[in-house]
Structure 1
Amino acid sequence: MKSKVLAALVATMAVGATCAFAANPFVDVPSDSWAYKSVVELADAGIIQGVDGSYFQGNRNITRYEAAEMVAKAMAHMDKASVEQRALINKLADEYADELNNLGVRVSALENRVGNVKLTGDARIRYRYQSEGDKVKAKDFGKVASVENDKGTAVANKKQDNDSSWDYRIRIRANAQVNDRTKVTYGISTNSISFADNSTASNSDNNNIYTDLANVDYNFGGNNWDLLVGRYEYDMGNGHGYGFLYGDTFDGAQLQYHNDKFAATAGYGKFKESVMAGDEGHDGVKTGYGELDGFFGGGRAAGSAVGVYYNDYTVGGGSDRTDKDSFRFDDSWGAYASVNFGKWNALANYEKYNSSKDNDSNINGGNDPEVWVGRLTYGAANFATPKYWDAWVEYLNADNGFAKKDGTFVGSTYGWRNDSLLNNVKSWGVGVDYTFAKNAQFQIMQSFATSAKDGNADPGEETRAQFVFVF
């Protein structure tokens, strides 16, 4: 692109940064040139510097890096631009994104451009298979292997075979930067849809697509405070813990204070998906929660972390609630430590759930169950960098009490295991993640040495493999 053409484009954006009486710094731009006013205003705003400070050289082809530098300087005036001008800046910034990154314009600065609406998303094609394991009695929790219905909710346990082991999911997100403090996010997702369902009508049913994100994030107080309101992901551990109890569709409000060394979070809301969302006409589980996190050795984003968290649960439905199908915990607490050393990361996570006083002995086993998780990871598979990989091994020890009477898990999980490998079980797992192309990753997981804790029949081992694409 010739410099005079780019200059004409950028001139429309450098509003509020011009001087009507600026002097012409370039000896090769006559006052009667069609580009004179634009060139003078851009030079006065610092967006262009010319060659040797004296020549514009309007007929010279410029490099992409020179164009990116002009765009970066125009981005500094985004707050003074109109909607149309912001759209043009955004278009140019997308075109020169790689060069802007190399020039030191951080990715976060590109993503947080005022007036920018960015579409992102991911697609997953997944294979899951769980062997039958030992024969079990009908009274046992987690009878064989659990599968999901088209809502993603665990249902009757049975061995998966043929193409019933294959499913897919697609999610799309729209992220809008309203101003330098406010961000709006809206997302839709399909459920995990099985390839075994040959019915086009069934797979296109409206129930297979739902809103999983719809929130406003307001940053204030010197960028240290965040207020999040709406539908968001509920994840105890702030992304550093294992996420044994997790909700990807959660309606609530959350206030967080954070810096590079510390974060304090408090919130209240209601689970909207999974078994915890409620069944048989009962309201879902609500929780008030709090968390304290400390960060070291690299800061909040990439460093090591330790944290503690607490949940106080409330189950709707009143006296007509069917106890055998209800979430029967009063509260829970947990703690984690995630430590980086070189290319290695070691994670330890503990959680304890306290059953309600009127808990039936058939619900949650009448116990106050605990869960221990340990994971050791080598490497980090980055979606943006091909040929990056990681490998991990983990150990999980979960008490009896995390399943309902029909064997379904009481909540969702951020991990990869099926329901019968999350309750009343000791189990090892191993996996590898490999980025085989930019924004494309292959992931494989395998459980082994799995056994039931209370002497009942052991569940079968699980194999899971999936392709994940982000855009």
Structure 2
Amino acid sequence: MKKTLVSALTTALVVGAASTTFAAANPFSDVPADHWAYDAVSQLAADGVIEGYGDTTFRGNQNITRYEMAQMIAKAMAKTDVSAADKALIDKLAAEFSDELNNLGVRVSNLERNADMVKWNGKAEYTYKSLRDKDAGKDGVDASKRKNNSDHLLFRLEPSAEVNSNWHVNARLDASTELNKDKADDNNDNVDLKRIWAQGNYGNFQTKLGKFAQIDDDSIFDTTFSGAEVKFGNKVTFTAGAGRQNLDNSEDGDSDLNKKVSVTGDDKTANYQYAGLGYADGKFVGGVDYHHLNVDNFKYAVDKIGDKNGQIEDNANIWLAKAAYQFDKTNGLNGFYANNTSADDFDKAWSAQYSYKGAEQENKGTWGAWAAYRYLGQNTALFSTFDAILAGQKGWEVGANYAPFKNVVATLRYGNGKDLLNDHDIENLFGRVEVFF
């Protein structure tokens, strides 16, 4: 079938009965004005039925494939200003080229699916903190540390890309800045790739490779590490992982180590392994986990004010048990207990929290409140990101969150207690507004 024949045929079907006046400009260099198909070709190009080639040629004497013909028929089928007779002819051609049109539909569906394979989520976040040491000035503690305020802005992107039906690639990119004039400097404006990992899901088996959060990201191990993880099971799960954990407490972000614990050697990266058993059934969720870190000259805090030597170890061995029970849609309890068997002091951490309802970002007007007591020994709560009672402190926390608009959540927290190292009274305020997209 020649292209000139296709052009004449499609012209008769699409524009003939509509009595269109051929006044469109000719876009093709190889179709002269005196060519018998000039008007038809020009109008078809203007209507979007034919496109030609990238070098401005039409190549009307070149053979075309059935698939190329099906493409033109599909474009003709999309037109609405055709007569009943032409509609009947288009339907007849569609029946003749049904296989090619079906394949074309599959290709279009695949293109639409591919366009949806990468999904973008994220948020913009403002955070205010006021950390107060009520007894600053005593025991040689600098009185200027009585109050420490900070204002922080964060912009986060979390893309997810589908590789195939089993594998996805996920990432977290953070851009952050400190707003306090007395704190802000060039080191406070950061753009960091916090997480990036590939995840494979095969029924009751899951594996992760890359940099990601591990099994206790809801408690004292709220951090990321680089390595691999495998998970088996459904209601009862077994999880194990291994890799490298950054312990450089001079860095900000998820991998920020508690400031009262440090690594005195040159190597700031520990070998890290963990394993855990979990159970989830209806209203109850629980688990027991073990974490092991090994690095030269790991320095723990000790129960002696002014002691600069600390307890030097090469290992941290932390056991943790956690549980949560949701009584109904509004009331729930959760807690954990952890112990670092390698530390001599501040070797325990635990928390108990009651929660009522909770703000839902997608539902305007939803809200929640909670009350908790936390004891966070700094030699065990190595990666705690609790906001009102911090690592190295104990005390009560109360808080509430509210969704004033869809995809907007405001959170307030208040903590009151003691510093475990110097027994000072502490009071912490925390506020955050998150805009999700």
Please classify the TM superposition score into its range, dividing by the shorter chain length.
0.5 to 0.7
| 1:451 partnered with 2:418 | yes
- Is the 1:166–1:196 Cα contact (8 Å) retained in structure 2? no
Where do residues 424-443 of structure 1 align in structure 2 (5 Å cutoff)? 425-443=393-411
Match of 2:166 in 1: 181
Higher relative contact order (CA 8 A, sep 6+): 1
Distance 1:435 1:327 in 2: 46
Secondary structure of 1:445's partner?
A: strand
| Larger strand fraction of residues | 2
- TM-score if structure 2 supplies the norm length? 0.66
- Is the 2:274–2:292 Cα contact (8 Å) retained in structure 1? yes
- Is the 1:171–1:187 Cα contact (8 Å) retained in structure 2? yes
Instruction: List gaps (5 residues or longer) in structure 1.
Output: 1-7, 16-26, 46-76, 92-112, 145-156, 298-302, 356-363, 403-409
| 1:33 partnered with 2:13 | no
Match of 1:351 in 2: 338
Match of 1:264 in 2: 238
- Is the 1:378–1:391 Cα contact (8 Å) retained in structure 2? yes
Match of 2:230 in 1: 255
Match of 1:224 in 2: 204
Letter in 2 for 1:432: A
Distance 1:323 1:350 in 2: 28
Greater shift, 249-258 or 193-202, is seen at 193-202
Letter in 2 for 1:339: Y
Against the structure 1 CA distance between its residues 29 and 311, is the aligned structure 2 distance closer, same or farther, given a 3 Å change threshold? farther
- Is the 1:243–1:413 Cα contact (8 Å) retained in structure 2? yes
Q: Which of 244, 247, 264 in structure 1 is aligned with 2:220?
A: 244
Deviation of 1:451 (Å): 2.7
Where do residues 131-142 of structure 1 align in structure 2 (5 Å cutoff)? 131-135=132-136
Against the structure 1 CA distance between its residues 210 and 280, is the aligned structure 2 distance closer, same or farther, given a 3 Å change threshold? farther
Against the structure 1 CA distance between its residues 352 and 203, is the aligned structure 2 distance closer, same or farther, given a 3 Å change threshold? closer
Deviation of 1:430 (Å): 0.5
Secondary structure of 1:158's partner?
A: helix
| 1:461 partnered with 2:432 | no
Against the structure 1 CA distance between its residues 168 and 85, is the aligned structure 2 distance closer, same or farther, given a 3 Å change threshold? same
| 1:289 partnered with 2:260 | no
- Is the 2:263–2:298 Cα contact (8 Å) retained in structure 1? no
Q: Which of 284, 288, 293 in structure 2 is aligned with 1:308?
A: 288
Match of 2:58 in 1: none
Distance 2:313 2:92 in 1: 70
Deviation of 1:332 (Å): 0.8
The structure number with the bigger radius of gyration is: 2
User: Identity rate of aligned residues, in percent?
Assistant: 19
Distance 1:435 1:38 in 2: 55
Where do residues 26-65 of structure 1 align in structure 2 (5 Å cutoff)? 31-33=88-90, 37=94
Match of 1:120 in 2: 121
Distance 1:318 1:446 in 2: 32
Against the structure 1 CA distance between its residues 250 and 191, is the aligned structure 2 distance closer, same or farther, given a 3 Å change threshold? farther
Distance 2:406 2:414 in 1: 25
Distance 2:89 2:310 in 1: 85
- Is the 2:168–2:200 Cα contact (8 Å) retained in structure 1? yes
Against the structure 1 CA distance between its residues 401 and 232, is the aligned structure 2 distance closer, same or farther, given a 3 Å change threshold? closer
Letter in 2 for 1:459: D
Against the structure 1 CA distance between its residues 269 and 325, is the aligned structure 2 distance closer, same or farther, given a 3 Å change threshold? farther
Secondary structure of 2:94's partner?
A: helix
Two-structure CA RMSD over aligned residues (Å)? 3.8
The superposition leaves residues 10-63 of structure 1 with CA deviations (integer Å, 9 ceiling, x where unpaired) of xx9xx9xxxxxxxxxxx9995512696399969x98xxxxxxxxxxxxxxxxxx
- Is the 1:329–1:354 Cα contact (8 Å) retained in structure 2? no
Distance 1:81 1:246 in 2: 44
Against the structure 1 CA distance between its residues 28 and 341, is the aligned structure 2 distance closer, same or farther, given a 3 Å change threshold? farther
Aligned length: 335
Match of 2:391 in 1: 422
Match of 1:337 in 2: 323
Match of 1:360 in 2: none
Letter in 2 for 1:228: K
